[in-house]
Amino acid sequence: MHYLDYNEKRQHGTSEFPIAFYHITEQHPRYHMPFHWHRELEIIRILEGSFQLYLEDTEISASAGDILFINGGWIHGGTPKNCIYECVVFDLKSLLMHTEGCKQYLLPLLGHDILLPSHFSREQAESLGLHSAVRQLFETLSYTAFGWELSTLGHMYTIFGILFSHRLCLPADAASRQHTKKTAQLKSVLEYIDSNYQNPITLDELAHVAGMSPKYFCRCFQIMAHRTPIDYLNYYRIERACLLLNTSDLSVTETAFACGFNDSGYFIRTFKKYMGVTPKQYGMRTNFR
């Protein structure tokens, strides 16, 4: 999945059927999930290992069999560990296009007046019948046999039917709306990093983009990202470097400069800090070149 754009601008699925499926293993160049957001809803299914999801200012520990829901527009990122996971990203409007009878349920979700619960353990999902419904959805999207679009819509309606029949969707209270305003300020910082990571960036610059004092900005950012702003900037640059090492013929030194490091030795040390291996070892591990 294209996790590296903070505000994902890619088309998930097609304009006629905006639902996309992604299968992620440790060999996937975008295995780790830096913070990003997209207007579409997302369902994540953990197949193996564990996954630490950072969702706005909440931290969720998920393991094999768990199901995660991410509301549209929410900032999220995550750290997988020995993990295989799958994602479905979809535009809720695609469900509204096919029937009028569901508007009373789905329009409040589109307007963020109600929110999907974020986490179901395997036991919870199985007791609700949600585990089976999500599994069937993911299997349908994995194989795309003739008529898969019809089956996909059926499984999606089943999932939402379960959530609404058990009254599991949560009303968005005043506190969550106020929190959304604060995260909107931080989104501008993420967009700034995305556009300028190749260049020198200071803490004062980032705080100015957020419209906050440096001290207050650092506190707000760390609550959301579980990292200091500068630590996260370096982490993001290393994620970009991983992508280049997997998709280009740039040397290690050229990759360092392309990702905002003006010292290749510092780049190698920083790369090993976050990835556990040197850039050269990473390239060999992923069969790069």
pLDDT in tens, 190-245: 889 999 999 999 999 999 999 999 999 999 898 888 889 999 999 999 989 998 99
183: Cβ–Cβ under 8 A, 6 or more apart, which residues? 56, 74, 75, 224
In this prediction, residue 34 carries a pLDDT of: 78
Q: How far apart are the first and last CA of the chain?
A: 22
Q: How far apart are CA 110 and CA 128, in angstroms?
A: 24
Of residues 184 and 67, more confidence is placed in 67
Contact 130, 67 (CB under 8 A): yes
Give which of 19, 23, 17 is closest to 1, Cα–Cα.
Answer: 23
Average pLDDT over every residue of 244-248: 88
Mean pLDDT of the chain: 87
Strand partners, 88: 21, 43
* DSSP state for residue 111 in the 8-state scheme: T
For 43-47, 53-57, 197-201, 238-242, which range has the lowest pLDDT when averaged over its residues? 53-57
> What distances in angstroms separate CA 259 from CA 10, 164, 219, 249, 281, one per listed residue?
21, 45, 26, 14, 18
Report which of residues 271 and 287 the model is more confident about.
271
pLDDT of residue 142: 92
Q: Binning pLDDT at 50, 70 and 90, where does residue 158 land?
A: very high
The pLDDT value given to residue 3: 39
In the structure, what pLDDT confidence band is assigned to residue 2 with cuts at 50, 70 and 90?
A: very low
Rounded to an integer, the average pLDDT of 14-25 is: 85
- Please tell me the number of Cα atoms within 13 Å of 245 on its side-chain side: 28
Q: What local confidence, expressed as pLDDT, does residue 94 receive?
A: 75
Q: Is the pLDDT assigned to residue 7 strictly greater than 70?
A: no
Range of lowest pLDDT (24-33, 120-129, 163-172): 24-33
CA dist 121 and 61 (Å) reads 10
Q: Taking residues 48-68, what's their average pLDDT? A: 93
d(CA 246, CA 243) in angstroms, rounded, equals: 5
Residue bearing tokens 């094999």: 64
Q: Which residues pair with 85 in a beta bridge?
A: 24, 46
54 close to 77: Cβ distance less than 8 angstroms: yes
Q: Is the pLDDT of residue 289 over 60?
A: no
Q: What is the pLDDT of residue 260?
A: 96
Grouping H, G, I as helix, E, B as strand and the rest as coil, residue 60 is strand
Q: In what helix (H) or strand (E) does residue 125 lie, and over which residues does it extend?
A: helix 122-128
Give the pLDDT score at 31: 84
CA 65 to chain centre: 18
pLDDT of res. 15 = 66
Neighbours of 82 (CB within 10 A): 10
Per mean pLDDT, which range of 13-17, 57-61, 248-252 is the poorest? 13-17
Rg (CA), the chain: 20
Three-point CA angle 2, 7, 8, nearest 5°: 35
16, amino acid identity: E
Q: What is the pLDDT of residue 82?
A: 95
Q: Which pLDDT does position 207 carry in this prediction?
A: 95
**Per-residue confidence at 36, pLDDT binned at 50, 70, 90?**
confident
pLDDT of residue 201: 96
CA distances, 170 to each of 115, 128, 164, 283, 289 (Å)? 5, 17, 10, 45, 49
Positions of E strands within 91-204: 114-115, 119-120, 170-171
Tell me whether residue 218 is exposed, middle or buried, using C-beta atoms within 10 angstroms of its C-beta: 0 to 12, 13 to 18, 19 or more: middle
- Count other Cβ atoms within 10 Å, centred on residue 48: 15
- Given a contact cutoff of 8 angstroms between Cβ atoms, the answer to whether 121 and 128 are in contact is no
